[in-house]
Structure 1
Amino acid sequence: MPSRRSKGLIGLGVAFVAALGLWLARGEAEAPVQAAPSPPPAGPRFFGALAGDGGLAIPGDRAERRRQLLEHAQLTDHTYCSYLEGSKYPMESQPVAHNPDQLHPNQPVTEMHPMRVEGGATSNSVLLQTSQSRVYLAAGEAVAFSLRAVNAQGEVVPIVITRAVAQGMTYGASRATPQVALAFADDGGGADPVAGDNAFAGVLAPSQTGLAGFHGTIRTEVRYTAGGKNGFALFDVVYSPVLPAAWTGQVREALENGSLNFYLRLEVRQPGRYVVTGRVDDARGKPFAVATFNDVLETGTREVKLTVFGKLMTDEAPALPLRLRDVDGYLLRENVDPDRLLLPRLEGQVFASRTQSMKGVSDAEWQSEERTRYLTEYAKDRHAARAQLAAFDPAQPLPPSACAAPER
């Protein structure tokens, strides 16, 4: 299976090629950019022929032709420069700006929407505020749900929970799972932080219920009354009943090949491709990088390497030492549903680096055969487009490039 790095690079290349293809398709409908001019017809010359055809171009046609060539030159330049910039770090070590949705994986998922009533209708007079602590649950983990009702002015609408049950979602001939009743309360205990604020909370711990062996999506349905109407809310989580591997708690760091690596020891019970993600903050607590491991592991004691790429460190200049936090992961299961078995998550700070300086950290860009190949092809397209524009209108200067790096 291709690595995540390969998939990212190939995906980026396909996106650029698709954009270029759309431009060329439009250009072919108007005037081919790279097609050689047709031989001149016998007899007298006609106005409207391109300058390369030896005739005199109508000013409007010539301007349109130059506009096409200029647009093509700018597009190929943008493609080359965007890939050059976007691939200077490896996929397994990216700045937080590229992965803003992964910065805080353990924050609750909150929503607000109109109250849903029977029959699929909604009531805009009552808004329901909901929260769930997580979407994916590894074996032994629990999830907290909460809901609260307000009106359009944000004022609390009294709510009464009438029923709350959780059940595994099955399809086709699969046997239905047991229904598990959940208790929702507003007493300031358990998952409810404040008593009497009309926010009701409940907890689902599948491993302690009849759903302990279920693998897949568990749906919790909560029925309630608010504002004189009967409504319902749905909460979905994806549960893994088996741990394919377990963390030992041992972590080490190493400055290798100009990059800082964190090694987390893992006892692998089921072999296969593991995907692990960790977040890296600087010494001030500012999110700095997202580090990912994506590789095949055999059974036994193994190490998961999370890399902070050297150039990323030199470019961003984080306050040292760095801190690894909020590590999660899973064993990928291909061509089945669900497609993963979850690892137990490591919440909060996992490891504090002892590296106090940038000594030994490299500022070299990431290199690979794939990156070189893509840059070479994009550079050829860029050079050809600019040469075409220069040949068509040598009196005009070429547009400046979007990047200062030389063509490859």
Structure 2
Amino acid sequence: MTKYDVAVVGGGIAGLTAAVYAAKAGKRTILIDKQGRFGGRAMSTVKQGVTFNMGGHALYFGDAYDTFRELGLSLKGSKPSIDAHGIWKDKCSVLPTGAGSLMATPLLTWKGKMELAGWLAKLTKLDTSRYDRISLREWIEGNVHDPMLRNIFYSLLRTASYAAAPDLQAAGPVLKQFQAALRGVLYLDRGWGTMADELRELASKHGVRLLTNCKAVSIEHEDGAVRQVRCEDGTVIEAENVIATAPPAALCRLVPNAEATALARWNAQAIEVTAACLDVALRKLPEPKRQFVYGIDRPVFLTNQSRAARLSDNGEQVVCLIKYQSKETDAKQDLQDLEHTLDLVQPGWRDELVVKQFLPKITVCHDFVHIRREECPGPAVPEIKGLYVAGDWASHGELLVDAATASAKRAVRTIPKIEQMKEAAL
């Protein structure tokens, strides 16, 4: 049995990132995942020559993008146009996203248009950290005056954060994410699976041992220090350090006596965000100008990802729809709402349908920065030396995949010997 410097549990984006950086720091590293391939929710599937992501995915120009560029990933794809429409009272109208559409939109009065123009000029320079301790609703209601413009802001910020929880979301991180969205996003050719595959190849190149179909059942510790990871098939992995990327509830089951550690607190404060996602591949769009649509009076969003990324072999248009869910969900109603959105935006879409995918409830993130949070999770579990956490839920202000990559790097940097190596190099 080989003893490792670092064992990473969970092979999604956070786990892959952590493994790569640990190996690059000279640590003997192993990465295990219970599934048959790495990538987690970043995996893509191909149906009839059409690539579907696991729900709506867009790469913002934030920590994840910078991390992947630093690592040399190709990130083949393009920035989509931001020309948009909005749904209000079952009518699809031009949404103001720039000077031309601002003048053309029927959604705002002249006064509302002038207020929005002012916001577009100052949002990119806004110090968002000033609003880290207030809710998104408090920020909107206290700063946006025009009633209809408030509705538009709720829609834009909901889409930027993939969450419909304005009373819970801390305003600062959402506004920072929106600043990134204003710079555009990247849609990836052949989906996010290509990015996950490149990370896996990079991990292998740097000497990471990769184990799939290996389900961890216990992260064992003794005398206040991590000792080993025990797997369902009997495999035992000895490691001085373990970076766990499982969700907080799963981690509490994996770590013996977790109730006496910070893991219990992090799990108690965690609020999962989910969404229903419908992807369709159409031979052509019945309404070619309606490719990017926000729900203003409903928590839905539609985007034609094929306008910026190659996702099919035969030129089909791959359209992704999202319904941001509340705590209570209804799969049948969610599907009806998403199909109704398609009926409204792309009437006649059923006649052009090639293939579709419906995910009734997919996890967007296992926790986010909300006003009920008592502390930011990790990177170290204070009570167990050598145990670290990473993942979209281990955010220190970042959102979505940015939280996954940022937390992974935090965990690796916190490993004492890596810190000592860096200090010695300086």
Higher-Rg member (1/2): 1
TM category, shorter? under 0.3
Q: Which has the higher contact order (CA 8 A, sep 6+)?
A: 2
TM-score (norm 2): 0.21
Instruction: Give 1 or 2: higher strand fraction.
Output: 1
TM-score (norm 1): 0.21
Instruction: Give 1 or 2: higher helix fraction.
Output: 2
